[in-house]
């Protein structure tokens, strides 16, 4: 992802390998060898990351790696439990079990093309957040979150084919939050002019009275600050306060419900189904607290 920048700036490159995933020597060697000729000289050092144990046992391997690549190994970093954002969906398998003593159960639908799932990492330190595949039983969670996706229509269809839409809709009085593509899925229909996956109308979950249209291949990318304008048991305690986030999506959603955040999103009449385009919502302490406080009071 950083190669484009390195090429244009002629910036030195440090290549970091994750030893937890296995094959770190082959990964580092192969990455160096496969770089285009103009980029290969920019690699100034190699680093092995997330090592558990005595780094001395890597000694001969590090020496051979330096000999084969001609690039020095700068060091070996120990595994540390840091609260840093994950690297896209490749890190979904690294998720930990529920925090000690925490009883809240929040289910995030693991869409095949899930994106921006780091939206929910602030929750993981405060509640049991589990990622549920489309063919897995959803159970009786305290809340359901439908995340962003790289292709809303395709993931919606697979959700329907696997029956996850019916599992979600069968939950009575359970809060459902949809973010970005998840918000689009919560509406009544998605009308696609061939931008996403098809041409025509695709019925959605119908938990919000909203319609999404994909008319132009134009992506909105912007950082925003919005005022909480929605009501209901989750948003009412923070109505009038501000939240920050970012939008990165295609499509335009027209809700016929009360807006959630100024001119963004929608809230059902019950107040427990919320849709929004705002990523990073749980980084806002006020929204995070309002969401979790409501779930804890109910439980």
DSSP 50-90: EE-S-GGGGHHHHHHHHHHH---EEEEEEP--------GGG
How large is the average pLDDT for residues 206-223? 87
Please name every residue paired with 221 in a beta bridge, in sequence order, or none if there are none.
248
Q: Would you tell me the crossing angle of helices 24-34 and 59-69 to the nearest 10 degrees?
A: 10
| pLDDT, mean of residues 193-215 | 86
* Range 42-58 average pLDDT: 92
Q: How far is Cα 43 from Cα 45, in angstroms, rounded to an integer?
A: 6
Mean pLDDT of the chain: 90
- Mean pLDDT over 243-258 rounds to 91
Q: Mind telling me the catalytic residues?
A: 180, 279
Residue 59 has what pLDDT? 84
User: What's the pLDDT band for 30 if we cut at 50, 70, 90?
Assistant: very high
Query: From CA 4, how far away is CA 7, in angstroms rounded?
Result: 5
Q: What pLDDT shows up at residue 89?
A: 60
C-beta of residue 45 within 8 angstroms of C-beta of residue 74: yes
pLDDT in tens, 88-128: 665 666 665 566 667 899 999 999 999 888 899 999 989 99
Q: Residues 129-174: pLDDT tens digits?
A: 999 999 999 999 999 999 999 999 999 999 999 999 999 999 989 9
Q: What is the reported pLDDT for 218?
A: 75
Give the pLDDT of residue 15: 95
Q: What percent of the chain has pLDDT over 90?
A: 75
Q: Which two tokens stand for residue 136?
A: 């897995």
- 271-299 pLDDT per residue, tens: 999 999 999 999 999 999 999 999 999 99
Percent of the chain scoring above 70 in pLDDT: 93
Whole-prediction pTM value?
0.76
**Residue 221 pLDDT class (50, 70, 90 cuts):** confident
DSSP string, 183-237: HHHHSSEEEEESSSS-EEEEE---SSSEEEEE-S---EEEEEEEEB---HHHHGG
Give the β-pairing of 143-146 and 176-179: parallel
- What pLDDT does residue 82 have? 72
């Amino acid at each position: 992802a950083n190669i484009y920048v390195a090429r244009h700036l002629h910036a030195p490159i440090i290549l970091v390998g994750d030893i937890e995933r296995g094959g770190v020597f082959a990964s580092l060697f192969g990455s160096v060898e496969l770089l285009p000729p103009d980029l290969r000289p920019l690699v100034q050092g190699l680093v092995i990351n997330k090592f558990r144990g005595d780094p001395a046992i890597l000694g001969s391997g590090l020496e051979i790696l330096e000999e084969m690549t001609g690039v020095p190994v700068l060091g070996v970093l120990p595994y540390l439990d840091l609260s840093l954002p994950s690297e896209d969906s490749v890190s979904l398998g690294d998720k930990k079990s529920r925090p000690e003593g925490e009883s809240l159960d929040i289910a995030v639908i693991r869409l095949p093309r899930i994106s921006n799932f780091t939206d929910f990492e602030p929750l993981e330190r405060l509640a049991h957040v589990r990622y549920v595949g489309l063919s897995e039983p959803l159970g009786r969670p305290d809340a359901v979150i439908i995340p962003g996706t790289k292709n809303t229509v395709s993931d919606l269809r697979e959700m329907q084919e696997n029956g996850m839409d019916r599992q979600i809709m069968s939950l009575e009085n359970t809060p459902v939050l949809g973010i970005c593509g998840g918000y689009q899925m919560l509406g009544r229909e998605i009308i696609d002019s061939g931008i996403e996956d098809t041409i025509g109308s695709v019925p959605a979950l119908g938990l919000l009275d909203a319609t999404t249209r994909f008319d132009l291949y134009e992506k909105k990318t912007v950082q925003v600050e919005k005022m909480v304008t929605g009501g209901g048991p989750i948003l009412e305690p923070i109505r009038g306060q501000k939240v920050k986030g970012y939008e990165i999506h295609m499509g335009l959603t027209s809700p016929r419900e009360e807006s959630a955040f100024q001119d963004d999103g929608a809230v059902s009449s019950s107040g427990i189904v919320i849709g929004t385009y705002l990523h990073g919502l749980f980084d806002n302490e006020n929204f995070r607290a309002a969401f979790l406080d409501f779930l804890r009071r109910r439980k």
